[in-house]
Amino acid sequence: MPAPGDSLATLLPPKERRKPRIGLVAGGLGTYWPQFPDLLPLLTESSRYVSERFAQMDADVTDVGFISDAVDGAAAAEKLRVADCDLIVLFLTTYLTSSMVLPIAQRAQAPVLVIDLQPTEKMDHATFDTGAWLAYCGQCPVPEVGNVFRRAGIEFRSVSGWLRQESAWRRIEQWIDAAHVRSALRHARHGLMGHVYPGMLDVSTDLTLLPATFGSHVEVLEFDDLRVRVEAVTDAEIEARMDEARRIFTLDSSVVDDDFAWGARVSVGLDRLVDDFALDSLAYYHRGLNGEMHEKLGAGMILGASLLTARGIPATGEYELRTTVAQLATQVVGAGGSFCEIQALNFEDGVVEMGHDGPAHLAVSSRDPLLRGLGVYHGKRGWGVSVEFDVTHGPVTLLGLGQDRDGSLSFVACEGTIVPGPLLSIGNTTSRVDFGRDPGEWVDEWSATGIGHHWSLSLGHRAGTYRAAASLLGIDFRKV
């Protein structure tokens, strides 16, 4: 188990990724400035506050300043197009015409969020003149922009509120979290190693689908790519990896030293594979036969895949490419994301038991993760060490990637709560999830969404964030 003072992030430094790129532009109708000389300074002060708030977010922000007419809007559009944004935020400080912002949405080639944040909660009607009122008129053009975006075939998104309203900023930050997902999936390199588990038709994925939908790259790998790297691992590296594992895991008495050492060797080889191909995720499976090398490699993956997943590089068995995409999405918003399927229903307690044998996301464990030795992997060839825990108790959100008859992808989500109770001790990542309804009815509705039989189990109630991410990615969203 971790030594005192050791955190998981210290032992397993998280992978650094490209931050989302946010474009920011504020605007108002320039006709007002000579009419009401005090108005523009007030609006630019508001836009300065908004810019400062965005600068504090975990994103690279390109602020192109304040626009006052359609010529300014076209110039801002060109700057934002060059910036290659994951999300553009239009701050409507007062009324402006839709002709000022439509070119930005059309030419910058990025999804757009409209925000209108008036200076305070309400106007002082007794003292306000027309110029002061216009500073509170940012909501006026929102329906106009919405109408024009719809007519132009551009998805409309907005957050209305007042400048220092934290609930409004939480809604804005939800869109920034969604931009993290869009950025990660646009630039992800997904490793796909081995072959599909025979008969699992639901996990089969067209390799063109991810590049076409998200812009991701799929790197097709052979188990031999792993084999040559595992063969190069030294005894000293094996010992070091075993020592690292002892600091992270509690070792059950069932762990066989030779199996532990083999898992450590494969883990070091996996790290090299991920580094050599610059992978953001890895989905794998190989059946093997009669104890030959590829069967041993497939059986030795769980320790290394769990350590990779804990570093923010989802590594998932059963060739589950779509689920590694979901895990990457939940990872980059800070929610972890452990590989899951339905394992059993408890109608007496009203819970769904879910988890999986194999790789786990150690950062979401409710306790020190356990390494258990298994003489057989159910449904798979080989044997070795596996990871056992339940996910941290409290609110969780499931997120999976569904696929329809026409091939289109969707985000499928459901919020629930992990509750304590008895769990099997069989080397699985089992958790008890309460969805507040009859477990059988939940299974029926969940299964009708187009979800496959695996998904990511992430911390917190985040369906709103995943809905926003689906919007930015241009895919459907379904919530149970």
Cβ-based neighbours of 269, under 8 Å, separated by 6 or more: 226, 229, 230, 231, 232, 233, 304
Is 133:123 a contact under the CB 8 Å cutoff?
A: yes
The enclosing H or E element of 101 equals: none
* Rounded average pLDDT over 300-306: 90
pLDDT digits (tens, 9 = 90+) for 7-21: 777 788 888 888 999
Confidence of residue 4 (pLDDT cuts 50, 70, 90): very low
Mean pLDDT within 347-356 = 91
Average pLDDT over residues 136-154: 95
State the average pLDDT over residues 359-378.
Answer: 72
Q: Which fold has domain 188-479?
A: L-fucose Isomerase; Chain A, domain 3 (3.20.14)
| Domain boundaries, given as residue ranges, for the chain | 21-185, 188-479
Q: Is 256 helix (H, G, I), strand (E, B) or coil?
A: coil
Distance CA 431, CA 389 (A): 8
Instruction: Please write the tens of the pLDDT for every residue from 26-61.
Output: 999 999 999 999 999 999 999 999 999 999 999 999
> Do 318 and 285 touch, CB atoms closer than 8 A?
yes
What integer pLDDT is reported at residue 204 of this predicted model?
A: 84
Contact criterion met (CB below 8 Å) for 433 and 420: no
> Which one is the CATH code of 21-185: 3.60.15.10, 3.40.50.10940, 3.40.50.150, 3.90.850.10?
3.40.50.10940
The pTM of the full predicted model, rounded to 2 decimals, is 0.91
Q: How far apart are the first and last CA of the chain?
A: 37
Q: Which residues contact 332 (CB under 8 A, 6 or more apart)?
A: 17, 180, 181, 183, 184, 312
What mean pLDDT do residues 402-429 have? Answer: 88
Q: List the one residue out of 182, 216, 185, 186 whose CA is nearest residue 471.
A: 182
Q: Give, in order, the Cα–Cα distances in Å from 373 to each of 22, 295, 303, 334.
A: 47, 17, 11, 30
The Cα–Cα gap between 127 and 120 comes to 15
Which residues have CB under 8 Å from 307's CB, separation 6+? 12, 244, 245, 248, 267, 271, 362
> CA 327 from chain center: how many Å?
6
Q: What are phi and psi of 2, to 5 degrees?
A: -60, 140
pLDDT digits (tens, 9 = 90+) for 416-429: 999 998 887 776 77
pLDDT digits (tens, 9 = 90+) for 53-102: 999 999 999 999 999 999 999 999 999 999 999 999 999 999 999 999 99
Please check whether residue 22 is in contact with residue 176, taking contact to mean a CB–CB distance below 8 angstroms: yes
User: Taking the CA of residue 474 as centre, how many other CA atoms within 13 Å lie in the half-sphere pointing to its CB?
Assistant: 16
pLDDT band for 152, please (50, 70, 90 cuts): very high
pLDDT at 3: 46
pLDDT at position 145 over 80 = yes
What pLDDT score does 381 carry? 53
The pLDDT, as a whole number, for residue 12 is 80
pLDDT band at 375 (very low <50, low <70, confident <90, very high): low
